[in-house]
Amino acid sequence: MLHGAPDSATLIHWLKDAHQHSVALVHDLSNEDLLGPRLQTVNPLLWETAHVAWFSEKWNLRSGGNGKSIRSDADALYDSTAVPHDTRWDLPLPSRQDTTHYINTVHDLLLEKIENQDLTAQEIYFVMLSVFHADMHNEAFLCTRQAHGFPPPKLDGAHQGPAAISPGAASDATASATPPRHARGDIEFPSGSFELGANHGSFFVFDNEKWAYEVDVRAFAMSRTTVTQEQFCCFVEDGGYQRQELWSTDGWAWKQREDAIAPLYWKRDDHRHWQRRWFNTWRVLEPQHPMIHVNWFEAVAYCNWAGRRLPSEIEWEFAASTTPGSGTKRHFPWGDQEATPALANLDMQRLDTVAVHDMAPGDSAWGIHQMIGNVWEWTSDNFTPYPGFTPDPYKEYSQPWFHTHKTLRGGSWASRGRMLRNTWRSYYTPDRRDVWCGFRTCARFE
CATH code of the domain in which 282 resides: 3.90.1580.10
Backbone angles phi, psi at 214, to 5 degrees: -75, 135
Domain extent, residue 283, equals 186-443
Determine contact, residues 379/314, Cβ cutoff 8 Å. Answer: no
**Are residues 309 and 217 both part of a single domain?**
yes
Query: CA-CA distance, 355 to 436, in Å (whole number)?
Result: 15
Q: Is residue 175 part of a domain?
A: no
Domain boundary among 98, 130, 148: 148
Packed helices 8-24 and 121-148: angle between N→C axes, nearest 10 degrees: 20
Backbone angles phi, psi at 192, to 5 degrees: 170, -155
- The pLDDT value recorded for residue 168 is 33
Q: Is residue 178 part of a domain?
A: no
* Pairing state between β 406-409 and 426-428: antiparallel
3-state secondary structure of 40: coil
**Are residues 137 and 284 both part of a single domain?**
no
**Are residues 205 and 278 both part of a single domain?**
yes
**Are residues 134 and 227 both part of a single domain?**
no
Cis peptide before 211 (omega within 30 of 0): yes
Q: 3-state secondary structure string, 149-168? A: CCCCCCCCCCCCCCCCECCC
- The pLDDT value recorded for residue 337 is 95
**Are residues 26 and 113 both part of a single domain?**
yes
Q: Which residues of 127-157 are buried (b: 16+ CB within 10 A; e: fewer)?
A: bbbbbbbbbebbbbbbbbbbbbebebbeeee
Determine contact, residues 417/424, Cβ cutoff 8 Å. Answer: no
Q: Is residue 168 part of a domain?
A: no
Low-confidence ranges of the chain (pLDDT < 70): 1-3, 64-66, 159-184, 446
How many domains does the chain divide into?
2
Q: Is residue 358 part of a domain?
A: yes
Determine contact, residues 88/43, Cβ cutoff 8 Å. Answer: yes
Please list the alpha-helical segments (H only) found in 238-371: 249-258, 296-306, 313-321
DSSP code, position 64: T
**Are residues 295 and 342 both part of a single domain?**
yes
* CATH number for the domain that contains residue 27: 1.20.120
Query: CA-CA distance, 278 to 280, in Å (whole number)?
Result: 6
The pTM (predicted TM-score) of the whole model is: 0.94
* Pairing state between β 186-189 and 266-268: unpaired
Report CA torsion sign: 279, 284, 288, 291: positive
**Are residues 108 and 240 both part of a single domain?**
no
**Are residues 390 and 242 both part of a single domain?**
yes
- The pLDDT value recorded for residue 201 is 81
Q: Is residue 304 part of a domain?
A: yes
Backbone angles phi, psi at 7, to 5 degrees: -80, 175
- The pLDDT value recorded for residue 64 is 63
Partners of residue 410 on adjacent β-strands: none
Domain boundary among 148, 169, 200: 148
**Are residues 193 and 143 both part of a single domain?**
no
Domain boundary among 85, 118, 148: 148
Burial class (CB in 10 A: 0-12, 13-18, 19+), 97: exposed
Determine contact, residues 442/314, Cβ cutoff 8 Å. Answer: no
**Are residues 143 and 190 both part of a single domain?**
no
- The pLDDT value recorded for residue 157 is 73
**Are residues 137 and 193 both part of a single domain?**
no
**Are residues 311 and 414 both part of a single domain?**
yes
Q: What is the enclosing helix (H) or strand (E) of 377?
A: strand 376-382
Determine contact, residues 119/130, Cβ cutoff 8 Å. Answer: no
Q: Is residue 170 part of a domain?
A: no
Q: Is residue 302 part of a domain?
A: yes
Query: CA-CA distance, 406 to 435, in Å (whole number)?
Result: 13
Partners of residue 391 on adjacent β-strands: none
- The CA-based angle 142-380-302, given to 5 degrees, is 75
Q: Is residue 273 part of a domain?
A: yes
